[in-house]
Structure 1
Amino acid sequence: MVDLEGIARRLPKNEARKEIIKWLEFYKGKRDINEKIADSIIIEVENSKKSSIYEPTLSGIRAGDAGLGSRGIGDHIIHEKILEIAGKGEFEDAGLSDNIIASIDGIHSRLSYFPFLAGFHVTKATLRDIMVKGAEPIGVIVDIHLADDTDVSYLLDFEAGVTTVTDFLGIIVLAGSTLRIGGDLVLGERISGGVGAIGKLKSKFFARHNVREGMKIIMTQGNGGGTITATAIYYGFPEVVEETLRLDELLACKVISDNPNLSESMTDVTNGGLRMDAIEISESRKLSFVIDPEKFLHLINPRVLKMFDELQIDPFGISIDSILIFTNEEDKVLDLLARSKIKADVVGYVSSYKDYPILTVDGKKLEARFRESPYTPVKKVIGNYSPYTIDDIKGSLSNAVKFSKIRKENVLKNLKSHFA
C-alpha cells in the first residue's frame, strides 16, 4: 500500500506533489483529477497541523524495530505498556466480565492477498481465545478494511472464510463494519481488520494464574493457523495450507470445558510459540515449564514439521495452534480427547521456578527471541534482532505511556466535570 498522506507529511510540498501524482498514475492511470487530488492532500495536511496538540508524544521507537506484532520479547514489552494504560495487569487469551468472555484478533498481515484464508484463520483464532478460557461461543463481530484499489471480491471471500468457521460451530456473525483503509488517501490492494468473538462462561474460567507446580502439561496436535499458512504460501508449500484448515483445537477446548473438573487452566501455543507462553505464565506465577522436546515435536502435524525441518524454522518459537492443558488428571484428559479423535500427549510438567521460565527435561533453556522464529523469506532477511536494546524500548515507551496517561486523565476529568 502507498500512504499518500504519509508522503505529504514527510516531503517538501513540491516533492510531495510529484510523488503523489506518480503513485496515483501507477494505481489509477493518467487522469486530469490526479493533480487536483495531490493539491487537496497537501492542503489537508497543512490544515491538520493546526491540531498538533492532539498528536502523540513520539517515543522515537518504530513499530517494526520494536518488534510490534512479531510475537517475541519486543512485542511482549509493548503489550505490557498497553496493559498499563488499560489498567489491566495480566496476560490472558481473552477477558471475562459478568460471565461474558470476549476476545479480538487481527487478520494475519501476510494473508492479505488470500482473503478466504485470512477470514478463516482470524475467526478460528479469536474463537479459540474464548473457548480455551471456558466459553460457549455466541457469535463473532467482524471489522474489515479494504485499500482503495482492492477488488470487492476480497470482502466477499473474507466473509466466506469467517462464516466457514461460524457455520461449523453453529454460531452467527453478530455485527460487522466495512471500511476503506485511509479512505481516499491509501492506495493498493491490501486488506486489514479483525474479528472478535463473544461467548458465555460455561462453568469455570481456565485462567493462566491457576497453573500450579506439579501439574502435567498436555498438548494437542498443532496443525498451524495464519502463521503456518503464511509460511507455506510464501515458501511454496501449498500442500501444507490444507493441513491448517482444521478446527481440532476448538473441539479440544470444548471437550475440556465440558469436563471442568479435569483441568484448572488452558492456553494456546500461538503468540511467539511455546517459549513466549511459558514466559507469560511464569511472570504471574513464578513457575517453570519442563518440556520433553521429542514429545513436543511429535505433536506437530507431520507435514508442518517437515516444512520446518526443510526451512530450518525453530518450532519452539512459532505459533503452531496447539492447546496446552494443565492438569493433575492426565489419564482421564487423554482418554476424553482420544474419544473425540484428538491427538494429544503429556509433553512436560510444571515445576517450581528453575532460573528460567522454560527448560527441556535435560536442563537446556528454551530462551525467547526478540521476534518469533522468522517464517517467511523476508523475515529471514530482516533477522531476529532490533537496533534497540530492551532497555531502550522500555525507557522510550515508559515516557510515551506517561504522556498518553496525562492526555487520558485530562480528557476524562473534563468529561466527568460535565456531570459533577
Structure 2
Amino acid sequence: MDLEGIARKLPEDKAEKIIEQWLEFYKGKRSINENIAKAIITEVKNSQKFKEFEPVPSGIKAGDSGLGSRGIGDHLIHRKLFQISNKKEEFDDAGIVNNIAIAVDGIHSRLSYFPFLAGFFATKATIRDIMVKGADPLGVIIDIHLSDDTDVSYLFDFEAGVTTVTDFLNIKVLAGSTLRIGGDMVIGERISGGVGALGVINGNPLLRSNVKEGMKIIMTQGNGGGTIASTAIFNGYEDVLEETLRLDELIACKTALENRDEILSMTDVTNGGIRIDAVEISENSKVTFKIDIERFLRLINPKVLKMLEDLKIDPLGVSIDSILLFSYNEDIVEKLSKKGIKADIIGEVTKYSGYPIVSSDGKQIEPRFRESPYTPLKKVIDNISPYTIQEIEEKLTKSMLTSIDKKKKVLKNLKRSFA
C-alpha cells in the first residue's frame, strides 16, 4: 500500500484517516500511527513546491498502455524509450559494448510471494539474454527491494534462488543493492527488483539483425520460466511448476556457442511469445518467419503444453523459454540432441511478405496488444485496451517529448556549468 499515493490523491482529512487505517492493519494499534499520517501529509505538501520535476500526465496509465504486458503496447513504449536514450532501435536481447554483453531482467510481477522462484527465474532470464548474443557469462548483479513489512526471509530466499543458477554455472554475484520500496511510505509485503548479467563475447555477436532470408529456424524445447511458473501457481498446476525449475536452455546456449561457426543469430521465446519475437526481428531485418505450428507445439514441454491447452492459453503468445537458433546448417539439431537437448527445425526465414510471422500454409499470425492472459485475473482484464493503437501512440509521443524537453533543459544547465 502506497501511503504517499493516498496523501497525493485525497483531501487531507480523508487521507489522514485512511492512512491510519492501513497502518493499523499492517502495524497494529499504535500511538505513533496518527503522527506518521500527519508527517506523510506534511511531506507531500512540501514536495508540491517542486512541480517542475513531476511528470506531465500523458493521459494514459501503465496498464492501459500495455507497459510490461509483452505485446504491441509494450513494443511501442520501448520505441519511445529508445528515442529518449538516443539508442538505435535494435530490440535485441542484450546491450553490447567492446564485446561485453549486458542485460537486466526484472522480477516477475506475480512472484513477489515466492522470492526463491523470483530470484531463480530472473537470473536464468538475464543470463540467457547475454548467452544468446554469444557471451560467456562472468557474473550477475542484484537489485532487490522489500516493502516495509516484508519478512527478511524473503531476501534470503531471493538470494538463494539467484545463486542456485550462478552456482550451477560456476559464476559469481558481483555486486548488489538491497533497499526498501518507498522507504517508510510503502507498507505491505511485496518485493520488487531485478537481476543483471554481464559476459564476454569471444567472436562475432549473434545479433538479431544477422537473421537473413533462407536461414533455418531451429527451436529447443521450452520448459517455461517465470510466466509459466506463475501460470502453474495461480491456476493450481503443481506438477507443472517442477518442470520450470530447469536450466536446459542455458545448456543449449552453451552447446550452440561451442558450435558458433554454424550459428549466425540466437534469441529466446520470451516477451510476448514468438508472435512478438517475430515482430521485433522483422523490424530489424525485414524478414518473415514461416513456421510449422505443429512442430512448434511439439517442442513445448508436454506438461506445460497440456496446461496451456486446458486453460485455453495461446502458446504462440506466451513466454515458453525456448531458444531460437538461426543457421543455414541443420547439423546443430543433432549436436544439441547429443547434449540431451530436444530441438528441431520449426521453419525458415523468408523474404518479408507483409507480415512478421506466418504459418507454413501462409496464414498470418498477428501480434496482440498484450501477451496471452495466463492467470485468472489476467483473463478477467483480457487482452484489450480502452485506447486504439493510434491513440496510444499519440499519447506516448506527446509525453515522451515533454520528458525530452526536461532532459535538454537540465543537460544544458549542466554543460553551462562546465563551459
TM-score past 0.5 threshold: yes
Residues 322-379 of structure 1, C-alpha deviations (whole Å, 9 max, x = no match): 000000011x211210111100000000011112110000111111110000000000
Name 1:117's counterpart in structure 2. 117
- Give the drift of 1:121: 0.2
How many Å separate the matches in 2 of 1:133 and 1:238? 33
- Give the drift of 1:125: 0.2
How many Å separate the matches in 1 of 2:25 and 2:288? 54
1:366 pairs with 2:355 = no
How many Å separate the matches in 1 of 2:408 and 2:205? 32
- Give the drift of 1:258: 2.1
How many Å separate the matches in 1 of 2:145 and 2:55? 24
Name 1:403's counterpart in structure 2. 402
Amino acid at match of 2:350: S
Name 2:190's counterpart in structure 1. 190
1:35 pairs with 2:34 = yes
How many Å separate the matches in 1 of 2:36 and 2:280? 48
How many Å separate the matches in 1 of 2:157 and 2:285? 43
How many Å separate the matches in 1 of 2:204 and 2:373? 36
Q: For structure 1, which segment, 343-352 or 359-368, has the greater mean C-alpha deviation from structure 2 after superposition?
A: 359-368
How many Å separate the matches in 2 of 1:211 and 1:16? 55
Name 1:172's counterpart in structure 2. 172
Moved over 3 A (4+): none
Determine helix, strand or coil for the equivalent of 2:184: coil
- Give the drift of 1:263: 1.2
Contact 1:204 1:260 (8 Å CA) reproduced = no
How many Å separate the matches in 2 of 1:122 and 1:326? 25
How many Å separate the matches in 2 of 1:334 and 1:204? 21
How many Å separate the matches in 1 of 2:114 and 2:176? 20
Contact 1:286 1:352 (8 Å CA) reproduced = yes
1:375-390 equivalences under 5 Å are 375-390=374-389
Amino acid at match of 2:52: I
Q: For structure 1, which segment, 132-141 or 80-89, has the greater mean C-alpha deviation from structure 2 after superposition?
A: 80-89
1:308-319 equivalences under 5 Å are 308-319=308-319
How many Å separate the matches in 1 of 2:210 and 2:358? 20
- Give the drift of 1:418: 2.5
Determine helix, strand or coil for the equivalent of 1:151: coil
Contact 1:204 1:257 (8 Å CA) reproduced = no
Contact 1:202 1:257 (8 Å CA) reproduced = no
Determine helix, strand or coil for the equivalent of 1:78: helix
- Give the drift of 1:260: 1.7
Name 1:55's counterpart in structure 2. 54
1:240 pairs with 2:240 = yes
Name 2:346's counterpart in structure 1. 347
How many Å separate the matches in 1 of 2:303 and 2:153? 31
Amino acid at match of 2:50: S
Amino acid at match of 1:309: E
How many Å separate the matches in 1 of 2:395 and 2:403? 13
Amino acid at match of 1:66: S
Residues 387-420 of structure 1, C-alpha deviations (whole Å, 9 max, x = no match): 0111111111111111111111121122222222
1:320 pairs with 2:320 = yes
Name 1:257's counterpart in structure 2. 257
How many Å separate the matches in 1 of 2:355 and 2:58? 30
- The share of aligned pairs that are identical, in percent, is 65
Residues 231-254 of structure 1, C-alpha deviations (whole Å, 9 max, x = no match): 000000011111001111111111
Unaligned residue ranges in structure 2 (runs of 5+): none
Contact 1:140 1:172 (8 Å CA) reproduced = yes
- Give the drift of 1:192: 0.3
Determine helix, strand or coil for the equivalent of 1:17: helix
